[in-house]
Structure 1
Amino acid sequence: MTSGRAGQAGDRAEAAGATPGPRLDLERYVPALLTFVANKLSHSASATYQRRFGVNVTEWRIMSLLAIEPGIPAARICQVIGFDKGPVSRTLASLEKRDLVAVEADPDDARRRLIRLTMRGEALHDEIIVVALERERRLTACLTPEQRDTLIDLLNRLHANLPALATPGTSRRKHPM
């Protein structure tokens, strides 16, 4: 499947007598499919949560993690969710200002700050999670229970295999200077 500028470039190369290079099949290229689904889920979640609860999707992700792991440092949030320190720090500041999270010094390490949901944050979490779980149910309604379990297993395997992308590839082409 080719589309847009890449497709046009390939068409021009063919018309000029050149053999076009490889093209992605966006209906089978896993990174693109994951990105497309994630982007659309994130956009619709953010619109829904912002409109109904005054919380954006980044705030919700952090709140949901804090409900699972109360009293964790920001570094743990970054590790689990995969966000950089800057956006997490800004989001935590916003949540703290709205009394949804509390940030306290770690009694074992004064340099580290531990974050937890406040009572108000817990209450808001408990409202949002009902909507989040319903969105998940609607998303996966097209799957049988066995297919859903398989999807979850495969996504967990891909997630665990992400470190493989950090290893430099062995088939890198050298570009002439």
Structure 2
Amino acid sequence: MELPPDAVSDPMPTVIDSDNFTPRLISLLSNTLVWRESRALRTRFGLGTNDWRVISALAIRPGATASEISEFVAMNKAIISKSVGVLTDRRLIVQVEDTGRSRQLFLTTAGAQMHDAMLPISLRGQEIILADLSEDDVAQLNHLLRRLLGHVRDLQAEEALEERTARRD
């Protein structure tokens, strides 16, 4: 095979150590668990992980709006809107429009039953993660993850401010 003249065919000298790059390891774990969960949810219920996240969020926060769910699960609002459409069509959630603000969303009785049926699949991911950890390890891990998420939110706020400032200039 003949490569184009500008093709870089040797590994570069300065690269990420992929075996010890924490964001990559977290991403690999997350992607693997989400793929497992999504496949099981699609097979058993004809719904995906995004749909499950909306159902789960509404089980925790009945009456949340799509924007509130988007923020709660840290997903793009367009993805949430698509799931809301699917779940509404399947009569698993209902939208209340006369609240004077964005439409509030609620599980239906069928949606609550779907939540309970889907829950064990999601909980299995937690079991996989925590299988080799003590209670103290789990508490420490969750504390560290919450702290890291706080740092990420701070960074996102800084970047949003920088974007607004750059647009004004």
Q: Shorter chain as normaliser: what TM range? A: 0.7 to 0.9
Question: Which consecutive residues of structure 1, in runs of 5 or more, have no partner in the other structure?
Answer: 11-19, 169-177
Match of 2:75 among 68, 83, 97: 83
The TM-score normalised by the length of structure 2 is: 0.82
Do the aligned residues in 1 keep the contact of 2:33 with 2:125 (CA within 8 Å)? no
**Counterpart in the other structure of 1:13:** none
Structure 2 residue runs without a partner (length 5+) = 1-6, 160-169
Whether the aligned pair in 1 keeps the contact of 2:91 and 2:108 (CA below 8 Å) is yes
The structure with the largest strand share of the pair is 1
Q: Does 1:126 align with 2:128?
A: no
Q: What do the CA deviations read for 1:117-167 (whole angstroms, capped 9, x no partner)?
A: 110000010111123223311331121221111111111111111134333
The answer to which structure, 1 or 2, has the higher relative contact order (CA under 8 A, 6+ apart) is 2
Residue in structure 2 matched with residue 51 of structure 1 by the alignment: 43
Q: Which position in structure 2 is the counterpart of 1:92?
A: 84
Q: 1:106 to 1:148 in 2, by over 3 A?
A: farther
Which of 130, 148, 163 is equivalent to 1:158? 148
> Residues 118 and 26 from structure 1, CA distance in 2 versus in 1: closer, same or farther, beyond 3 angstroms?
same
Q: Which residue of 1 aligns with 2:96?
A: 104
From 110, 114, 125, give the equivalent of 2:104: 114
Q: Which has the larger radius of gyration?
A: 1
Which deviates the most, 50-59 or 118-127? 50-59
Question: What residue in structure 2 maps to residue 146 of structure 1?
Answer: 136
Q: 2:33 aligns with which of 32, 35, 41?
A: 41
Identity fraction in percent: 28
- Offset, 1:7: 9.0
Give the Cα separation in 2 of the matches to 1:69 and 1:33: 31
Determine helix, strand or coil for the equivalent of 2:104: strand
Indicate conservation of the 8 Å contact 2:37/2:121, yes or no.
no
Equivalent residues, number: 152
